[in-house]
Chains A and B, each alone.
Chain A
Amino acid sequence: MTTRIFGSGIRRREDPRLITGGATYTDDVKLPGMAYAAMLRSPHAHAKINSIDINAAAAAPGVVAVYTGADTEGALNPIPCAWIPPDSDVKAVAHPALAKDVVRYQGDAVAVVVAESRYQAEDALELINVDYEVLPAVINPEAAMQPGAPQLHEDAPNNQAFHWVAVGGDPDAAFASADVIVKDTILQQRMIPNAMEPRSAVANWTASMGELTLWSTSQNPHICRFLASLVTGIAEHKIRVIATEVGGGFGSKIPVYADEMITSFCSMQLGRPVKWTATRSEGFQATIHGRDHIEYVELAATREGKITGIRSVIYAGMGAYLSTAGPGVPTILHGLMYSGPYDVGATKADIYGVFNNATPVDAYRGAGRPEATFLVERLVDLLAVELGIDPVELRRKNLIPKFEDGHDVASGITYDSGDYEPILDMVLNHVNYPALREEQAHGREHGHYMGIGVTCYAEICGLGPSQVAGAVGFGGGLWESAIVRFHPTGKVNVYSGTSPHGQGEETTFAQIISDELGVDVDDVGIIHGDTSNTPMGWGTYGSRTTAVGAAAMVLAARKVKEKARLLAAHLLEAAEADVEYEDGKFFVKGSPDQSKSIQEIATMANVAWNMPEGMEPGLEASAFYDPPNFVYPFGAHVAVVDVDVDNGHIEVKRYVAGDDCGPQINPMIVDGQVHGGVVQGAGQALWEGAVYDDNGQLLTGSMTDYALPRAHMFPDIETLSTVTPSPHNPLGVKGIGETGAIASTITIYNAVMDALRPLGVTGIDMPLTPEKVWQAIRQQQGS
């Protein structure tokens, strides 16, 4: 083994089962005697429940049971919120699994039917008669805080869920002494994540043992087990959560939802396995949403273009209840990142979390950081226009110079490493920026409106030091652990507490371990997703799986290697100090012929016929890795768009993503993550957005009405990269799962505004649909 497989774009080992239909997702699980659950959900955004009549449903063919909130109350504790930022007066209102007295969003579950088949369960839903007294609803989070607005929770006056303020430096002074201030109002519209696999749960209660097995479409099965034990009252060691194949998450499968707890309740009541799978309509209504900010933002600068301050007042819709990590998103994951990649003296984030009669909001790909990047990069472009400076030059003036081991920004966090200008140069050279500007100028003379968006970003991920998690109110740790185990034949299994669901880490983890242990990559198996056979871990989100989870694996592998070295010395009858390791082999210094492979050593350790005095048999180790800091990937993106001013249609002509995630384990997979993130972010800029009417009816409740990006809507993506290792983890790796979505929304938005600038259009609320673009152009022409 002289070649490292780290850095090689090998094919994914996950794929054979996925391309042949052989993978088992949760809805594919079928157990003997299984019954099927279906949820009755509120058609109203806000209503009092006067009564629920289940008699007809209970008597319907095939129906096994019907339960309402009266049944689950007391049996299931409220669904908890697990992220309570300190000093924010968080109103962690009780969220009952089934609403009993009041429904607070369209999709709030009020009853569950369990039947012999899924068709019978759905039929019976229609026979339940709920007497609702409809109450006024409020959707707009700013309006929800005004006097006289409908109130969601008695405990939360003015619908204020929390108020969180983060001040770095002296923003008041920065703004008081600014030569120039630019301002904007930004609508970060509500997004609906739409992982392709709908959420699903299969619960199997074994009454004789008091044990629950729960298959759940989760990004974090160990957190699911932890919270399930709090909700159901079953001791944690008697719950097994299995996140089998999971079909995408994008944050929407982090939370622990009422649905899987209700499914568990049904299984416990009936003593038989019960499956529930969301329809896509339920996915739209009752799986978390993302974003939902109304933002008032401003930037202070000198006449020369030096940024001195950035601040915001934001109304962040939380939905009707606080989801598992909901309050952490617009606060910790957002408000500390207002410096972006720039040297900004003072920042202030003033965030109101607001209850509104809509689906709960939680982490959606990027979670807080796309919103932060958007507001910073939007303001920088507005400043460029205000000062008449090229937006690229303005950015260069403000970029933080190269640093390799820590840079403090105003908000109090410390970036790990950064070198922001080379990646900017790389993307600009790639597109030939001066030529693009010439083409744009030429086009404008002929009524052709091309726009160029260039953005720089730095983001925070690889969550994160557990001490920080505790300090910021996260109800858990953020370390990871791993077990590396050699089997008697010299093959290896690695057991991880993370839970990849499409990111390809079975492959990248195997590449890492193959190099660490000097064994063939095909001799390494990666096990994840089942709490019964994996060590504790906090899951896959926040681009943390490799930066934290793989780091734990590497530490465990190194322990294994050291034990193997000591055993090799014993077997080679050499002094421990004389035994060296290279490429999977231990040999006596000076006599390379006298060697044993680590796999031979593994066999000897497992049979344990001849162990040194005091050495335990077996060859395995576990390790825990708690990162000393987050990681901070960065990059520069360029979008080139054409706007057809006659019909408002936007065509993205080119998209160039330059990203630095540190050393790339598998560049093919890195590119894939960037592609997906970029198009997801483009979806927010151009097409996607949850629309509610004034009564709180979700108008975009299906894929017919909610415009997801399709194959013909975006061009190929050009990817570039630089490599700046993080000093904080043993691999130097950063995260790449969210960068695309963090950068692309604003890159495309800025490109469109750049195109429309000669027409006098300065801002349009997202998504930038042809109709809105056309209206904005017409408005200017009429004025």
Chain B
Amino acid sequence: MNIQVTVNGKAHEKDVEPRQLLVHFLRDDLGLTGTKIGCDTSQCGACVVSMDGATVKSCTCLAVQADGSQITTIEGLAPKGELDPVQEAFWNKHGLQCGYCTAGMIMTTVELLEKNHSPTAEEVRDGLKGNICRCTGYHNIVQAVLAAAEAKRS
């Protein structure tokens, strides 16, 4: 099937198998390997990308479902050479260790903070329920999200 997708501001037209997962389209066809596959069952959130402004788990979304959409991946979150405040906050607060869950965590956080500019720690923890990290114990991720919220407000 032919699909037209704009990814990180760049338009793509591709033939894809109807069954191809969006995450494989991004990683294998477009070479955007910053988005990760962690679980295949929509549990871990490593594959979260933004589609038309809303987060989706790209391992449980077909590429054909993305036809006509605007997608942002971790690679396109900030202009080249710059960092989004969320990326900066994850760096400042040691919100990552092995980095494998990080793209999904950051993309989820971006949406979370768009919906709620001043989340409490509890709201942050609740908002990150769908993203699993095995390294950090979440403590510094929560700190990073709170710091990002503050940075975005100011």
Contacts and interface: CB of A to CB of B under 8 A. Distances in A.
Dominant SS at the B interface?
loop
B138 A672 contact: no
A359 to B, nearest CB: 18
A716 B34 CA distance: 29
Interface in A252-281: 279-281
Contact of B134 (A11, A17, A195): A195
A679 interface: yes
B139 to A, nearest CB: 4
Contact of B73 (A21, A248, A672, A709): A21
Contact of B90 (A19, A195, A668, A709): A19
Contact of B133 (A21, A196, A501, A503): A196
A711 B128 contact: yes
B36 interface: yes
A22 interface: yes
B96 A19 contact: yes
B36 A19 contact: no
Contacts of A403: none
A212 interface: no
B131 interface: yes
Given A21-B34, A24-B33, A712-B126, A703 B91 contact: no
Contacts of B27: 28
B96 A21 contact: no
Contact of B97 (A502, A710, A711): A502
Contact of A247 (B73, B90, B98): B98
Nearest to B81: A20
Interface in A10-31: 11-12, 14-25, 27-28, 30
Interface string B112-154: 0000000001101110110111111111111000000000000
Contacts of B90: 15, 19
Contacts of A740: 137
Nearest to B93: A668
B129 A21 contact: no
B41 A280 contact: yes
A584 interface: no
Contact of A675 (B91, B92, B128, B139): B139
A496 interface: no
Interface in B13-56: 17, 19-20, 24, 27-28, 31-41, 43-44, 46
A291 B66 CA distance: 43
Contacts of A679: 137-139
Pick from A15, A16, A281, A703 the residue with the most CB of B within 10 Å.
A15
A726 to B, nearest CB: 24
Given A198-B38, A502-B135, A675 B140 contact: yes
Interface string B75-99: 1011000010001001110101111
A246 B36 CA distance: 13
Given A196-B98, A712-B126, A717-B139, A20 B83 contact: yes
Contacts of A12: 91, 94
A119 B16 CA distance: 12
Given A28-B33, A196-B100, A19 B91 contact: yes
Interface in A555-586: none
Interface in A110-134: 118-119
A711 B75 CA distance: 25
Nearest to A679: B137
A392 B137 CA distance: 27
B132 to A, nearest CB: 5
Given A676-B137, A679-B138, A704-B43, A18 B132 contact: no
Contacts of B128: 710-712
A106 to B, nearest CB: 17
B103 interface: yes
Contacts of A247: 36, 98-100
B100 A197 contact: yes
Contacts of B135: 196, 248, 502, 672, 676
Interface of B: 17, 19-20, 24, 27-28, 31-41, 43-44, 46, 73-75, 77-78, 83, 87, 90-92, 94, 96-103, 106, 121-122, 124-126, 128-129, 131-142
Given A679-B139, A680-B134, 15 more contacts: A18-B96, A21-B75, A194-B134, A195-B98, A198-B37, A247-B36, A280-B40, A503-B97, A671-B140, A672-B136, A675-B136, A703-B39, A703-B41, A709-B138, A711-B128
30 contacts: A15-B96, A15-B99, A18-B96, A20-B74, A20-B87, A22-B75, A23-B99, A25-B36, A27-B33, A119-B24, A196-B38, A196-B46, A196-B98, A196-B134, A247-B100, A248-B97, A280-B38, A502-B99, A504-B97, A668-B94, A671-B140, A672-B94, A675-B140, A677-B137, A680-B137, A702-B41, A703-B39, A710-B132, A710-B138, A716-B142
**When A and B form their complex, which 10 residue pairs have the shortest distance between CB atoms, in order from nearest?**
A21-B34, A502-B98, A247-B100, A18-B99, A679-B137, A703-B43, A675-B137, A21-B74, A28-B33, A502-B97
